[in-house]
Amino acid sequence: MTTSHYIAGRWVEGQGSDCISVNDPALGQPFAELMAASAAQVDQAVAAARGALPAWKATSASERAGYLRGFAEQLGQRREALISVQMRNNGKPRHEAEIDLDDAIATFNYYAELAEQLPSKNREVPLAAPGFTARTRLEPVGVVGLIVPWNFPLVTSAWKLAPALAAGCTVVLKPSEVTPLVEQAYGQIADSLGLPAGVLNIVNGKAETGAALSNHTGLDKLSFTGSNSVGSQVMRSASAQCRPVTLELGGKSAIVVFDDCDVDQAVEWIVAGITWNAGQMCSATSRLLVQDGIAEALLPRLQAALERLRVGNPLTEEVDMGPLTSQAQWLKVASYFATAREEGLQCLAGGKALDRDGWFVSPTLYADVPNDSRLWTEEIFGPVLCARRFATEEQAIAEANDSRFGLVATVCSADLARAERVADALEVGHVWINSVQAVFVETSWGGTKGSGIGRELGPWGLSAYQSVKHVTRCLG
C-alpha cells in the first residue's frame, strides 16, 4: 500500500522516513505496511484544503448535505469490507464492528439534515437601540486538522468529518498509525462522489506527522481525540497560534450500583461498560461503586460473568471480546496486572495475559480497591474493573467525583428519582441511567476536568466548526 495518502483529490505515495506496519492483533503479526507522509506532504495537504475552502464554503447547504448522504450511502455499500478490516486490524468482534459502521452512517445522515437547516440559522437580532439592525451569520471556521485515535477509527473520524464538511470547512485528516486502513474508505468515497479536490485530505503517519499537522500555521482549528499526554501537546500547538481546539481525552469513569437494583441486570451493564472493545474506551466505566447491601450478591455473579466471556480471534471464533489492538497497549495493561500484585489487590477474575498467540488479556475484576491505588486513579484502557463499596448516596457521589477525569458515568437504581438526582450531581459530560453505553448522534459527547475541551455530536458538534459573525447596519 504505497499510495496511502489522499491529497488534493489524488492518491499519492508516502514520502516520509517511517514505514508503518499494520498488525493483526489476534495473531500479533503484520499484514500490511505503508510509508508515512512527509512534512512536505502535510504542507501540500493543508495548502490543498486552503485552496479548496473559498469554493466549498460557498456551496449551498443542500449541496453539502447531498455529499454527506453520499458518504453514508457508500459506507453502507462497503459494509462487509469495512467490517472485516476493523475485525482484522482492531480485533473487534463482528457485532462491535457492525455497530461502529452503523454509527458512522448515522452520523453522516444526521449532519446532512443539520446542513439543510443552516439557512434558517441566519437570523435577525433585535436591538434595544433605535436606528440600527443586526443579523447573525454562521460561517465555517476554515481549514481544520482532524487527528483521530485507533480504538474507534471509523466512528471518531465520522464524528469530526461529517460536521466539519456540513459547516463548510475543508479538512486534513490524520488517522492513527495503528489503524490506518479503514479511513482510506473516506478518500475512496470522496473520489466516487466527485467531492471537489482539496475538500478532504488524508495523511498517514506516526507522531511526527501528527506534530507537523498540529503545528501547521495554515490551520484554523484543531480537533483531537486521544490520550491526555498527546492532547496537551496538541493544545500547546494550538495556543501558539491562538486558534480554537477541541480535545476529547481520557476518562476513569464510575458506574454506581445501588442496592435496589436488579443484580442480573446490573451485571449486564457493568460487563458491557468494561469489556466493550476490550475496555479500550475513554468512556469505560472502570470504577465500580457498589452499595453495601448488594455487594455480596453482585460481586460473585459479576466474577462468574467475566469468567464466562469468550475471548478470542474474531475472524475465526465466536467471541465476546477480542484482543487488545496493539502490542504497546498489551504491555501497558500487563504492567497494571504487575502493579496490582505489588499493591496486594484482591483479584476475583482475570489479572493476567492469556497464553496464546496475539495480544489477549483476560477480563479482570479487583475487589475492595483503595482509592489511592494506581489502578483506581489511572486510565488503563483495557478490560480491568476495580470495585469499591459505599454506604450512602452522598458517599457514592463524592467517590465518583473524586477523579481528575470527568467524561461519563452510569447510575443503576430502581429508584428513578434518586438515579436522576445522582446523575445531576455527577461531574461528567454524559450519564447513563440503567443502560449500556448507548451513544446517539443527536446527543453530545465530551467531558469535564481532564477529559477534554468542547463537545462533539448533536448540534454542538456542528457549532464546533462554525464561527459567529454579526452584521450591524445603521439605518440613518
User: How far, in Å, CA of 398 to CA of 98, rounded?
Assistant: 37
User: Which of helix, strand or coil describes residue 321?
Assistant: strand
User: Which of helix, strand or coil describes residue 71?
Assistant: helix
Q: Tell me which amino acid residue 327 is.
A: Q
> Is residue 282 annotated as part of the catalytic site, yes or no?
yes
8 A C-beta contact, residue 104 and residue 98: no
Catalytic residue (one of 169, 261, 282, 386): 282
8 A C-beta contact, residue 410 and residue 432: yes
Pairing relationship of beta strands 405-406 and 448-449 according to DSSP bridges? antiparallel
Catalytic residue (one of 248, 379, 399, 456): 248
User: Which of helix, strand or coil describes residue 75?
Assistant: helix
Q: Which three cell numbers stand for residue 265?
A: 441486570
Question: Could you tell me which of 294, 281, 272 has the C-alpha nearest to residue 227?
Answer: 281
> Is residue 248 annotated as part of the catalytic site, yes or no?
yes
- The number of residues making up the chain comes to 476
* Non-local CB neighbours of 362 within 8 Å, separated by 6+ positions: 311, 349, 350, 351, 352, 353, 354, 383
- Tell me how far CA of residue 50 lies from CA of 5, 101, 192, 197, 275, in angstroms: 17, 30, 22, 11, 42
Pairing relationship of beta strands 254-257 and 29-35 according to DSSP bridges? unpaired
User: How far, in Å, CA of 183 to CA of 209, rounded?
Assistant: 16
User: How far, in Å, CA of 88 to CA of 178, rounded?
Assistant: 12
Question: Could you tell me which of 4, 35, 11, 381 has the C-alpha nearest to residue 206?
Answer: 35
Catalytic machinery residues:
248, 282
